[in-house]
Amino acid sequence: MLTEETIAAAAHGPEIPKRLILVAMDKGGVGKSFFTILLTQWLHAKRRPFLAFDPDYHNSTLTRFVPESQFLDIRHSENLDRIIEVMQEHPLVLVDGVGSQQRIFLDWLEETNLLQLRHAMRLQLTLVLIVEEDKDTVHQAGEAVSRIGNQVDWLVVKNQKSMTSTRIYDQSKARKELLGCGAKEMTMPKMTDHLVVQMQQHSWTIDKALEGDRLFLIDRQRLVDYRKSIFSHFEANQSILLS
């Protein structure tokens, strides 16, 4: 539980707007960490300071690709209180997702009354939902918005790693409810398979892969084009991604 001291410090501290971004999806393998890594690269490019947390105690992908990120054990929900504590020094905080843990994030938001306290704390909340062309991710997105409603900013990421269609989501009740709550949407295009393999083998971010002569010219251009595309989506949604 958040302490009164922590809340008071947030409410009466310097007039600095804060934003907390939670990647809140249960299903594994949908691109939560990939999205978070891309977002950290965009923030670096914009020279915006941030702190990123990796809650995956089995597969710490974020800390492998972004070494400055910190591990956060959310198996004990009270550890999530640390997020608010660090926001006095880090007004923009990202928390990567981990499979089967969406409920922990949502329970914590309700248990701490953070959704009601956010105005006094000058805190803006963004929940990121990653959907694919399957019913599971769409169902989980629907469950999340049914619980939280319009009390946060929503960003729905349509991951095209398996197919470009998102018909199941596009025609769903979940999408209608999310759009009714002001949700924004973006696309995360598929990256060329052999580039994904190389980046995974070497734990390269796009920026690292583009350093020096690591790649052939045509592959460098593929990555440059991919970064330009994904960054344009972040730019279009920066109102809910920056503090």
109-144 pLDDT, tens digit each: 888 899 998 988 899 999 999 999 889 999 999 999
The rounded mean pLDDT for the chain is 89
Mean pLDDT (whole number) for 221-226: 97
Mean pLDDT (whole number) for 148-162: 93
- CA 237/CA 205 separation, integer angstroms: 22
| Region of poorest pLDDT, from 55-59, 167-171, 177-181 | 55-59
The yes-or-no verdict on residue 197 having pLDDT over 80 is yes
Split at pLDDT 50, 70, 90, the class of 2 is low
User: Domain span at residue 67?
Assistant: 4-240
Question: 76: which residues sit within 8 A by CB, 6+ positions away?
Answer: none
At 236, which CATH number? Answer: 3.40.50.300
The yes-or-no verdict on residue 11 having pLDDT over 80 is no
- CA 194/CA 200 separation, integer angstroms: 10
The CB-based long-range contact list for 205-211 (8 Å cut-off, 24+ gap) reads 205/37, 205/40, 205/41, 205/65, 205/66, 206/38, 206/41, 207/41, 207/44
Per-residue model confidence (pLDDT) at position 56: 77
The yes-or-no verdict on residue 190 having pLDDT over 70 is yes
Per-residue model confidence (pLDDT) at position 102: 67
The yes-or-no verdict on residue 99 having pLDDT over 70 is no
In the chain, pLDDT over 70 holds for what percent of residues? 91
Q: Which residue has the higher pLDDT, 84 or 92?
A: 92
Q: Give the burial class of 216: count Cβ atoms within 10 A of its Cβ; 0-12 exposed, 13-18 middle, 19 or more buried.
A: exposed
Total domain count for the chain?
Answer: 1
Per-residue model confidence (pLDDT) at position 166: 86
pTM for this predicted structure: 0.90
The yes-or-no verdict on residue 228 having pLDDT over 60 is yes
Split at pLDDT 50, 70, 90, the class of 100 is low
